Structure 1
Amino acid sequence: MNDKNRFLKKALLLIACCFCLFHTGTFAQDNKKFLNPIMAGFYPDPAICRVGDDYYVILSSFAYFPGVPVFHSKDLVNWNQIGNILDRPEQLNLDKHGVSRGIFAPTLSYHEGMFYMVTTLIDRGGNFVVTATNPAGPWSEPVWLKDVHGIDPSLFFDEDGKAYIIYNSDAPDNKPLYDGHRTIKMQEFDHKNLKTTSAPVILVNGGVDISKKPVWIEGPHIYKKDGYYYLMAAEGGTSVNHSEVILRSKKVNGDYVPNPNNPILTQRHLPANRPNPVSATGHADLVQTQNGEWWAVFLATRPYTEQDHYNIGRETFLAPVTWKDGWPIINPDFEEVQYAYNRPNLPAGKTPKLPLNGNFTYREDFKERELPMHWLMLRTPRTAWYSLSKPAGSLTLDVRPETISGDANPSFLARRQQHIYGNASAKMDFKPASSDEFAGIVAFQNETHYYALGKTLVNGKEVVQLRKSEKATEGSPETTVLAAAPLKKKDSKKPLFLKIDFRAGKYAFYFGSKEGDWTLLQDNVDGTFLSTRTAGGFVGVTLGMYATSQGKPSTGKASFDWFDYQGNDPVY
């Protein structure tokens, strides 16, 4: 190829890439298009349910409390959180659970005026069901399903009045042929008395083709259409090899025949260096609108390096579905999952109070009587350690011995990091009484992977510190101080302003004595330390307010007047 032709080929490729970016990245949400992800940040394992003209989505919450957020929409695009299904301590015991344990993959169903949520509490109790007549709550106490052994349960209500529970379970006779060998099992379910009524049967062994040693068949759903029962499930694990597959049968208990064109959704074959990648697609659920369209919700990630670093967890995306030759196709017109699609043929819904996608700014001023439902804490609270009334208009945390490195319920309230680029800041009043007391803001991935920016005492003088978590061993500190700066004596009685700036794999940390007047404490801090690839687990970074006395008794308080979040991803 001569230089002229080579140059022409590169120019055409550049134009094509720009055209692709225009259609998948550089755009704004309008009345014709919607933006993906529809729920940005740590909102994994979506399950969807339609009741008339109303749509509901629920998601995994792991060891965060309250558990299982539930969202409502009229148009599949604008989602408002209406509650948390497990919002009472007596419903959800997360004591001593690791951050990525707790609640796995809930699903939501509706039948004859009743909503059903089934899920798994890993490490304590197993599978259970709760019910409600209103998805906003209140929801019942858990009914444990002691003979359902596995994870990712879902319910299917057949036209003849029978109901079934389907779930991921062990290999036949508990003798796996290879690592990751699992099955999909089913039992009849008495939805009135909330119990199974038959022995389990295996619907899928291993995956769509056991000769290829498929791994982690999970997240099953059954749908009925045109005389067929369709069994859809994730396969390949929830990382870069994630996919969605589907099988069908004329009978609910099989035999189930795989779609010859499986998987019906994956991105694992695409190059890692593609621009603005959407990766790890799977764990999908289908819904048909009242106007006859089909759509899929599914989880995916947005890595910012070719090594699959992403900090914000697994997110919820929406894509159209078409049917061909009796099989569904997710994302039918594209190879890559898109950042924008044409909106569903539904009347526009209300703009959400809390933005969930695109770029946005959101300030929490703590002037409501109750903490808004999107705020999270680690594990189940056993005492009242925060207040919105003392003083009014502020969030006040008790300075307590528990730490975010431990397995208890610390004085930590957080919201999700929902963007690859952005910042979070807060205004804090705190007077440490000893070097054990520390309060500030945190970028938290798990017990051993977080950064904390706050105030403490060193040699009797107030300082701002940036702390990095360590893998604690007996007698060793939980954190290392990466940077510190003394506070001027004249500023010791003033509020302290703190800011975390995140830019993909780089974080920066600031402080100041007045809003907007920032002093850089540390720049270019390794953000990949907070990525799932490095930290492991199933959650994403949360950003929030924290106070601790590091194992020592304390009567201290830390008050926050506001917490500000700004997202500014270049893709939008």
Structure 2
Amino acid sequence: MTAKSFFTFLSVLLVAATVQAQPWNADLGNGKYKNPILFADYSDPDVCRVGDDFYMTASSFNCAPGLPILHSKDMVNWELIGYALEQQYPIDHFKTPQHGNGVWAPSIRYHEGELYIYWGDPDFGIYMVKAKDPKGPWSEPVMVKEGKGLIDACPIWAEDGKAYMAYAFAGSRAGVKTVIMMTELTADGTQAIGNSVMVFDGHDGHTTCEGAKFYQHGDYYYIMAPAGGVKPGWQLAMRSKNIWGPYEMKVVLHQGDTNINGPHQGALVVQENGDSWFYHFQDRWAYGRIIHLQPVTWVDGWPIPGVDSNKDGIGEPVAEWTKPNVGKTYPATPLVTSDEFNTHEWGLQWQWHANPEVYFGYMSANLGYLRLNCIQQPEDYVSLWQLPNLFLQKFPAPDFTATTKLNFFNHEEGDRTGLLIMGEDYSYIGLKQVDGAVKLVQNTCIKARTGGTEEEQASIDIDQKEIYLRVTVKHVPNSPTHDAVATFSYSLNGKRFKDFGTDFQPAAGRWIGAKMGLFATSSTLTNDCGYVDVDWFRVE
């Protein structure tokens, strides 16, 4: 074997080992899949089919880049291929963290050779972007309908040649909710025209009806919409032969006797062969809104996701099912979570907590590490909740371990860096300059959103700035609110790890699951800040 062949073979083995090390794989390898298909916080998913390709997007709220674009050939294995929003709009508004604001419940549709994504920002209105290639470039956002409290938008190009859009209201902004509205659009989908009308009123037993998705199937127009709230809710279907209604309604999916709470808010997808499927989320507290896939049976013209096991006419989620028949078998492709930082781009799994400045972090010119700068905290600093320069990714599984190797180059008092579990409660293990020396610390903050401050859990002097940091997250079964526990550890040689500090219960952020990742900050103003060089970040 030549040297070149050997290194090619070694690269293949390393790639295979990385795939095997991924912490969640829904493809069972025997023609079946298990739910959730994505054990990651892709909240409010929507999916559309383009020939034999499938594309998904999801809520990204305040995180940047936003509007993730995922691709699949078999509806079970998904790859994150890019984002439709490099920055949140308006750009200046989102340079500071706007937790829970931004992109709410987008929809993705294919029309005349282009993909369209619509979403509502509850503070500004309904936006749209489009692209011929799902990997981009995507157009600049267009304001389709301006207004405070407008959310959860979905278009349809109907048989009459006209375009329409369904949407809902955020009660927190509009003082109104639980109704589904509809308006006509210009033919190019860029502007709402005419009066909006109410096509469904959920006040009679279906409160918080929102997240409408528009379809045409057979002789009917369908609106699929969740109701009942995020964690305890259910899924409605509405239908009418006239796009303006009146619409009749049926509950088509609920928890029933399963352990899948709040199964709703997603996408109805019909394959070329006529088979139908429904994507939805389940809110799992710290893990966020994870994604399930249900087979759909049409009963008397109604789409029933899951299986009606108790014969009440309503579907219940399945835990395992036969994979969709797409004509061939595709390999399992778990989402990528690790990053060696060996190219000029970091992995697509990473997001900032607000629109970033270029100096927050960048790759090295010689390819081999990520540099994060110790950016000065604001004068009114209380906690990391305020900072945009948090470099984070989603929890990828119920049980996982994340390990990073870094080198700390502190310059000023208060410089610090670390491995972070971030939510409304957060905790990290890291290095900090204190009285001119470097310490290893664990700090924790409870109720950061409402003004909680950090408390030191552990601190030791350390004379080494190259260090390995690790967090291990384990699922805690049958816990009503905190269903995960995180344990921190460190190593000076990458081989022997020592537990450090106290156990921590991760908590969700504002409408998002807990996230993990890296940060670097300082309490001192300087014109040449300290920094950390991150060699790699590995998840298994």
- Name the TM tier (shorter chain): 0.7 to 0.9
Q: Distance in 1 between matches of 2:146 and 2:345?
A: 39
CA distances 1:394-447 after superposition (whole Å, capped 9, x unpaired) = 01111101476243422x21221122222111001003334411101100114x
Indicate which of 498, 501, 515 corresponds to 1:522. Answer: 501
Kept in 2: contact 1:167–1:185 (CA 8 A): yes
What is the alpha-carbon distance in structure 1 between the residues aligned to residue 247 and residue 488 of structure 2?
54
What residue is the counterpart of 1:266 in the other structure?
254
- 1:102 to 1:89, Cα distance in 2 relative to 1, 3 A: closer
Q: In the aligned structure 2, how far is the partner of 1:27 from the partner of 1:182?
A: 34
Contact 2:27 2:77 in 1 (8 A): no
**Deviations for 1:153-195, whole angstroms, at most 9, x for unmatched residues?**
0001111211101001379xx786xxxx421110111142611
Residue 388 of structure 1 and its aligned partner are, at CA, apart by 1.3
Please point out which of 535, 538, 545 is paired with 2:518: 545
Return closer, same or farther for 1:142/1:363 CA change in 2, 3 Å cut-off. closer
C-alpha displacement of 1:147: 4.4
Greater mean alpha carbon deviation, residues 140-149 or residues 372-381: 140-149
Match of 1:248 among 217, 239, 245: 239
1:434–1:456 CA contact under 8 A, matched in 2: no
Is the CA contact (8 Å cut-off) linking 1:170 and 1:183 kept in structure 2? no
Report matched runs for 1:220-235 at 5 Å: 220-235=212-227
**Residue 502, structure 1, aligned to residue 473, structure 2:** yes
User: Is the contact made by 1:426 and 1:563 (CA closer than 8 Å) also made in structure 2?
Assistant: yes
Residue number in structure 2 paired with 1:194: 190
1:374-453 aligned within 5 A:
374-390=349-365, 392-402=367-377, 405-410=384-389, 412-446=390-424, 449-453=425-429
After TM superposition, give the deviation of residue 544 of structure 1 in Å: 0.6
Residues 396 and 56 of structure 1: CA distance in aligned 2, closer, same or farther (over 3 Å): same
* Identity value in percent: 28
TM-score by length of 2: 0.85
Corresponding position of 1:344: 324
Is 1:105 matched up with 2:94? Answer: no
CA distance in 1, matches of 2:90, 2:114: 19
The secondary structure found in structure 1 opposite 2:359 is coil
Q: How many residues align?
A: 495
After the TM superposition, which residues 327-366 of structure 1 pair with which residues of structure 2 at under 5 Å, given as runs?
Answer: 327-332=302-307, 334=309, 337-348=317-328, 350-351=330-331, 355-356=334-335, 363-366=338-341
How far apart, CA to CA, are the structure 2 residues paired with 1:26 and 1:338?
17
TM-score of the two chains, using structure 1 as the length reference: 0.81
Q: Which amino acid aligns with 2:539?
A: Y
- Structure 2 Cα separation of the partners of residues 473 and 153 of structure 1: 28
| Conserved? CA contact 1:74–1:348, under 8 Å | no
Q: Kindly provide the amino acid, as one letter, of the partner of residue 500 in structure 1.
A: V
SS state at 2:392 partner: strand
- Is 1:283 matched up with 2:265? yes
Residue equivalent to 2:248: 257
- Compared with structure 1, are the counterparts of its residues 90 and 382 closer, same or farther at alpha carbon in structure 2 (3 Å cutoff)? farther
Deviation of the 1:345 alpha carbon: 0.8
What is residue 115 of structure 2 aligned with on the other side? 115
Counterparts of 1:546 and 1:503, CA distance in 2: 23
Question: Residue type of the partner of 1:142?
Answer: P
The alpha-carbon distance between structure 1 residues 185 and 89, as it changes in their structure 2 partners (threshold 3 A), is: closer
* Contact 1:80–1:352 under 8 Å retained in 2: no
CA distance in 2, matches of 1:409, 1:428: 21
Residue from 398, 418, 443 that aligns with 1:467? 443
- Structure 2 CA distance, aligned partners of 1:192 and 1:26? 40
For the aligned residue pairs, the C-alpha RMSD in angstroms reads 2.6
Cα distance between partner residues in 2 of 1:97 and 1:126? 19
Separation (CA, whole Å) in 1 of partners of 2:374 and 2:225: 45
Give 1:197 shift: 1.9
Q: Matched residues in 1 for 2:341 and 2:82: separation?
A: 18
Q: Which residue number in structure 2 is paired with residue 57 of structure 1?
A: 56
Paired with 2:500 and 2:39, the residues of 1 have a C-alpha distance of 29
Question: What CA distance in whole angstroms lies between the structure 1 residues aligned with 2:114 and 2:326?
Answer: 25
SS of 2:204's partner is helix
SS where residue 197 of structure 1 aligns? Answer: strand
Match of 1:570 in 2: none
Show structure 1 runs of 5+ residues with no match.
1-24, 303-309, 567-572
Instruction: Give the match's secondary structure for 2:375.
Output: coil
Separation of aligned partners in 2, 1:137 and 1:297: 24
| Deviation of the 1:392 alpha carbon | 2.4
Aligned equivalents of 2:504, 2:88: Cα separation in 1 = 36
Instruction: Report the Cα distance in structure 1 between the residues aligned to 2:88 and 2:239, rounded to whole angstroms.
Output: 40
Contact 1:75–1:347, Cα closer than 8 Å, also in 2: no
